[in-house]
Amino acid sequence: MKGSLSFFLISLVAILLGTCRGGELRKHFYEETCPEAEDIVQKIIWENVALNSTLPAKFLRMHFHDCFVRGCDASVLIDSTASNSAEKDSIPNQTVGGFDVIEEVKTELEKKCPGIVSCADIVALATRDSVSFQFEKPLWEVLTGRRDGRISLVSEANSQIPPPSFNFSQLKQSFASKGLTVHDLVVLSGGHTIGVGHCNFFSRRLYNFTGKGDADPSLDSTYAAFLRTKCRSLADNTTIVEMDPGSGMDFDNNYYKILRQNKGMFQSDAALLTDNGASNIVDELLDPAKFFTEFAQSMERLGAVGVLTGTSGEIRKKCNVVTIVIAGKATELISQHVMMVKESGKFSKTAEIADCLTSSQIRGRSHSLTLRRMWTWLPKIWIMTKRYNVPVATGVAGRGIDIPDVAHVINYDMPGNIEMHTHLIGRTGRAGKLV
Ligand code: HEM
């Protein structure tokens, strides 16, 4: 009995982990709903890369940055608004580009099959197709079925995308927090075989490594002298330098060769040689065939980090804006705003909402509670003042309840479809008040 219970629990954990990792991603997810989707993406991406050879590096970095914040949910594509600073405005994303090309693909797909193909899948496919352009065939398989997130916070991008100053244990921890191994870390760092770095991300290694006007001793001194001819001062934040000298446009395993010569551009590159296990993996990847096989596998794992699938999230209409669901005829009357807030331990659990929702609320009477319980999502101006009458309702309680004199409805979780939206905003919203 004990044995079967343990087996049940282990299976349950395995199923749950499986869900977090890969969800329901599968090959050719759009086969039935939009059979041309993958061809359309490839065509537009290849046309653009033919005109602009810097795009593969841009998409590869964009995909990595997307997947490291809230999973691969295209949150990196969302624009900031008056009430929200989005991931795009974070320090690491200032130099990410290619957003216009993603939008071009999305526009075309919306014409062919409206509301079907997610922006998150477009980023994953665009990355694969752009990097594969030089080989004229796909370098790795992209499973599809991702959905788009509705939250994008600058603070999360700043804290979750690893900076180039990270040492090995910080990198290992960062990747582990996304379910990725040291092996993935070393293999995916091989992405630095293409593209450029801005001087300000590595010039401390050239001019002031320990604060005494010195250079990083782990950087090859001839290469450091060369880099100083490019980056003339610590203040230079505009000059760009190829990360894989002489081979920065070719997707190959040359990164590991230069790494072994102590010519990795960032401290985070050099850090891979400071751990025996990681350093052994660097040696293995000096074999090109091994690199291509391993890179393909690690990209699939990266592309599955924290994905939203099934009915989670949404399929955005435009990749740079979260869709506000249109609520029927009264739409023109309703003023709708989206406010993104970081989930707080204090108010993240449905149980806590249900706790506030006393039976009196279900009977339709408004319920008084202190605002401190709700501080995570009410506008700051309301915090810590006095007691207000604030009715709190779960989705179930929200159905059909008419509470007079309610001026605002705040949906803590954005509903994914019009029906649910209409239920949740209730008569308040449909009467043209603020949602
Ligand atoms: C391991 C931790 C990583 C760190 C600390 C890191 C850091 C950086 C930094 C600082 C830049 C230069 C950005 C600029 O100057 O504009 C860069 C560029 C780049 N990174 Fe990473 N990166 C890491 C991992 C990855 C991974 C996993 C990938 C993809 C698989 C990747 C792909 C790229 C590419 C392609 C570029 C060039 C972008 C361009 O030319 O526009 N990086 N990275």
- Look at ligand 1, atom 8, and give the residue with the nearest C-alpha: 164
How much is the pLDDT for 24?
Answer: 84
Compute the Cα dihedral for 282, 166, 243, 59 and give only its sign: positive
How much is the pLDDT for 380?
Answer: 30
| 3-state SS assignment for residue 147 | strand
How much is the pLDDT for 424?
Answer: 65
Whole-angstrom CA distances from 244 to 71, 206, 322, 410 are: 28, 17, 37, 50
Pocket probe for ligand 1: among 52, 61, 160, the residue whose CB has the most ligand atoms within 8 Å is: 61
Residue range 117-171, pLDDT digits in tens:
999 999 999 999 999 999 999 999 999 999 999 999 999 999 999 999 999 999 9
The model's confidence at residue 352, banded by pLDDT at 50, 70 and 90, is very low
Whole-angstrom CA distances from 306 to 18, 149, 259, 351 are: 11, 11, 30, 23
Q: Is 271 in the pocket of ligand 1 (CB under 6 A)?
A: no
The model's confidence at residue 18, banded by pLDDT at 50, 70 and 90, is very low
Pick the more confident residue, 148 or 13. Answer: 148
User: Ligand 1 centroid to 193 CA: how many Å?
Assistant: 10
On average, the pLDDT of the chain sits at: 82
Q: Which residues contact 78 (CB under 8 A, 6 or more apart)?
A: 86, 87, 88, 152, 319, 320, 321, 322
Whole-angstrom CA distances from 354 to 347, 359, 394 are: 11, 10, 7
User: Ligand 1 centroid to 295 CA: how many Å?
Assistant: 15
What is the CA angle 200-320-58, rounded to 5?
40
User: Ligand 1 centroid to 316 CA: how many Å?
Assistant: 27
pLDDT higher than threshold 50 for residue 14: no
The model's confidence at residue 356, banded by pLDDT at 50, 70 and 90, is very low
What is the CA angle 47-53-57, rounded to 5?
110
pLDDT higher than threshold 70 for residue 322: yes
Q: Which amino acid is at 294?
A: E
Give the chain's length. Answer: 435
Q: Is 248 in the pocket of ligand 1 (CB under 6 A)?
A: no
Number of neighbours of residue 380 by Cβ within 10 angstroms: 7
């980056």: which residue's tokens? 231
User: Ligand 1 centroid to 314 CA: how many Å?
Assistant: 28
Rounded average pLDDT over 236-264: 95
How much is the pLDDT for 375?
Answer: 34
Q: Is 68 in the pocket of ligand 1 (CB under 6 A)?
A: no
On the CB side of 130, CA atoms within 13 Å amount to 31
Q: Among residues 2, 290, 11, which one has the least CA distance to residue 282?
A: 290
The model's confidence at residue 394, banded by pLDDT at 50, 70 and 90, is low
The model's confidence at residue 410, banded by pLDDT at 50, 70 and 90, is low
pLDDT higher than threshold 60 for residue 187: yes
**Lowest mean pLDDT across 14-18, 20-24, 129-133:** 14-18
Residue range 64-90, pLDDT digits in tens:
999 999 999 999 999 999 889 999 999
**Reported pTM:** 0.79
β pairing state of 240-242 and 388-389: unpaired
Number of neighbours of residue 289 by Cβ within 10 angstroms: 8
How much is the pLDDT for 247?
Answer: 87
Q: Which amino acid is at 332?
A: E
pLDDT higher than threshold 50 for residue 225: yes
Rounded average pLDDT over 228-238: 96
User: Ligand 1 centroid to 389 CA: how many Å?
Assistant: 50
Q: Is 61 in the pocket of ligand 1 (CB under 6 A)?
A: yes
How much is the pLDDT for 3?
Answer: 45
- Look at ligand 1, atom 27, and give the residue with the nearest C-alpha: 188
Pairs from 3-11 (Cβ < 8 Å, separation ≥ 24): none
Q: Which amino acid is at 175?
A: F
Q: Is 195 in the pocket of ligand 1 (CB under 6 A)?
A: yes
Instruction: Tally DSSP H helices, then E strands, for the chain.
Output: 18, 4
Q: Is 59 in the pocket of ligand 1 (CB under 6 A)?
A: no
Rounded average pLDDT over 233-255: 94
Torsion of CA 409, 413, 419, 423, to 10 degrees: -40
For the chain, what percentages of helix, strand and coil (3-state, to nearest 5) are there? 50, 5, 45
Interatomic CA distance for residues 278 and 295, integer angstroms: 15
- Look at ligand 1, atom 32, and give the residue with the nearest C-alpha: 61
Rounded average pLDDT over 358-376: 35
How much is the pLDDT for 384?
Answer: 33
Interatomic CA distance for residues 431 and 397, integer angstroms: 19
**Does an H or E element contain 241, and which?**
strand 240-242
Q: What do you get for the CA distance between the two ends of the chain, in Å?
A: 52
- Look at ligand 1, atom 29, and give the residue with the nearest C-alpha: 191
Whole-angstrom CA distances from 5 to 9, 15, 137 are: 6, 15, 48
Radius of gyration of the chain (CA): 25
Q: Which residues are catalytic?
A: 65
Rounded average pLDDT over 110-116: 96
Q: Is 188 in the pocket of ligand 1 (CB under 6 A)?
A: yes
């993935």: which residue's tokens? 184
Whole-angstrom CA distances from 171 to 174, 199, 224, 271, 370 are: 5, 21, 23, 9, 42
- Percentage of the chain surpassing pLDDT 70? 69
